[in-house]
Amino acid sequence: MTQTEEQAVSAQDTPLVPIEKIVSLCKRRGFVYPNSEIYGGVSGIYDFGPLGVELRNNIRRFWWWSMVQTNDNVVGIEGSIITHPRVWEASGHVENFVDRLVDCKNCKRRFRVDHLPEENIRQNKCPVCGGELTEPRKFNLMMETYIGVVEGERMKTYLRGEACQNIYLDYDNVLKSSRVQIPFGICQIGKAFRNEVTPGNFLFRQREFEQWDLQFFVHPSEMQQWFDYWKERRFEWYKGIITHKDRLRFRAHGADELAHYAKQAFDIEYQSILGWQEWEGIHWRQDWDLSRHSQYSGQDLSYTDPETKERYIPWIVETSGGVDRTFLNLLLDAYEEEPPTGKDKEGRTVLHLNPVLAPVKVAVLPLQKNKEELVTTAKELHHKLRRLMVSQYDEVSNIGRRYRRQDEIGTPFCVTIDFTTLEDQTVTVRERDSMSQIRLHLNEVPAYLLERVRWDYTV
């Protein structure tokens, strides 16, 4: 097998989904559109359509619920995208947030040095055509912007290159304004911006993207214990939202990748057609961030233990992942083209999304659109359900085609109103993955569905 063929098969011999299939589904069904498409688009920047925004909101809300709302020792903030420029000097981004790039003198392709195989770096050879490579050049990834309108008084600053910096900036305010004590965590979901020199693979590497971070503040003596705790919790969280559990693993950072303050770091990786790739990083940040911000701002960010009166700079466990990578990985994980079977003679494309995250929870379908009683009953049920969850009413084309439309966007349940409904008030509830059908009384439908699409279901 060639490397590409090997990559196209996962650990359990399940075919991996080509990214083009996801790109096409996303555009066709309104999940993701290229940004500014009518002007030719901007590389590495995307917009989310009607279904995309529902899926994205569900992903975000579910993370927030699991990380903030169900942990007594974790609180949330929402910081700004623009901060004082000194923040990025203190964080090291102005000096060190760079990609090293080489160009092929022959085919003119450009590569990130850290993405090149060892062999090619050693021989200074292009991995595509074998041509000679240029000397590496450094590019800073920070996106610049300016505050103020008067020329000469404008202050240059940056769109944040990582969202977590706000948490260090607000750490002292949170401590003073909330009833939290170490050990405790602060969470945030927010946009980050990087002038990625090689954006690509759809949502995987973008220039504008969204991160979710937990920064957990601990006493140095408890660092290892909390690091291990969050590392396992985050792994289980991702495992809980995917179908192919064998496509998730930890990768320990090698000694040459670790920051000088980090004793260890792990990536949670997902295996897709792109290979094994980082989904979230679990980082040992020690006292680096708070010490640097203390030093650069002149503010004392140390913590005094209320009982022992010990004074120290807290150490930090960071878990930092991406909303967009989660969005992409979930689609890659959920997508399946099923061949024709006894149950579905035409075959179907289905998204096996976790019902908790699916953009539409239920579709209400009258068997025929020209039978007034069917339509009225279906619309009444839809109006009742849409107050509880995202419900779609659909009466266009035959029932099989309508099921397939919903399967393709991952709707876990379809409720069909048929002629028996008019006699005994029962409806057919069809489940997406098994395509099994049961009959329920109309009054039972809301509770039945709610039970299956609630936040704490399955995970």
Residue ranges that bind ligand GAP, judged by CB under 6 A: 162, 164, 194, 196, 205-206, 209, 211, 278-281, 320-322, 324-325
Cis peptide before 183 (omega within 30 of 0): yes
* Residue 380 CA, distance from chain mean position: 35
- The count of other CB atoms within 10 Å of the CB of residue 417 is 28
Nearer to ligand GAP, 211 or 416 (CB): 211
Strand partners, 369: none
Q: What is the largest distance, in Å, between two alpha-carbon atoms of the chain?
A: 79
* CB closer to ligand GAP out of 210 and 394: 210
Closest CB 242 distance from ligand GAP, rounded Å: 15
Q: What is the closest distance, in whole angstroms, from the C-beta atom of residue 400 to ligand GAP in the complex?
A: 38
CB of 1 to ligand GAP, least distance (A): 29
Q: How far is the CB of 416 from ligand GAP (least distance, A)?
A: 40
Shortest Cβ 212–ligand GAP spacing (Å): 8
Cβ distance to ligand GAP smaller for residue 320 or 354: 320
Query: What's the residue count for the chain?
Result: 459
Cα-Cα-Cα-Cα dihedral sign, residues 336, 337, 339, 342: positive
Burial zone of 386 (CB within 10 Å; 0-12 exposed, 13-18 middle, 19+ buried)? middle
State the nearest-atom distance from the C-beta of 116 to ligand GAP, in Å.
18
Taking the complex as a whole, the smallest distance from the CB of residue 132 to ligand GAP amounts, in Å, to 29
- Contact between 269 and 278 (Cβ < 8 Å): yes
Identity of the residue, 202 or 335, whose beta carbon is nearer to ligand GAP in the bound complex: 202
Using DSSP's 3-state secondary structure scheme, residue 380 falls into: helix
In this structure, how many other beta carbons lie within 10 angstroms of the beta carbon of residue 23? 18
Cα–Cα dist 421/436, whole Å: 18
DSSP bridge pairs for 205:
200
Nearer to ligand GAP, 139 or 457 (CB): 139
Least gap, CB of 60 to ligand GAP (angstroms): 14
Q: Nearer to ligand GAP by C-beta: 190 or 321?
A: 321
Nearest distance in Å: CB 371, ligand GAP? 49
Question: What is d(CA 314, CA 302) in angstroms, rounded to the nearest whole number?
Answer: 7
Q: Residue 194 or residue 293: which is nearer to ligand GAP going by CB?
A: 194
CB closer to ligand GAP out of 209 and 266 = 209
Residue whose C-beta lies closest to ligand GAP: 322
Other Cβ atoms less than 10 A from the Cβ of 441: the count is 12
Asked if 128 and 110 touch (Cβ cutoff 8 Å), the reply is no
Task: Tell me the CA distances in angstroms from 67 to 189, 224, 237, 407, 450, one per residue in order.
Answer: 11, 20, 10, 30, 22
Q: Minimum CB separation from ligand GAP for residue 437, in Å?
A: 39
On whether the CB atoms of residues 442 and 425 are closer than 8 A, the answer is yes
Q: Alpha-carbon distance 359 to 56, whole Å? A: 8
Dihedral sign for Cα atoms in the order 79, 80, 81, 87:
negative
Nearest to 224 by CA among 256, 264, 253: 264
Q: Which is nearer to ligand GAP, 162 or 394 (CB)?
A: 162
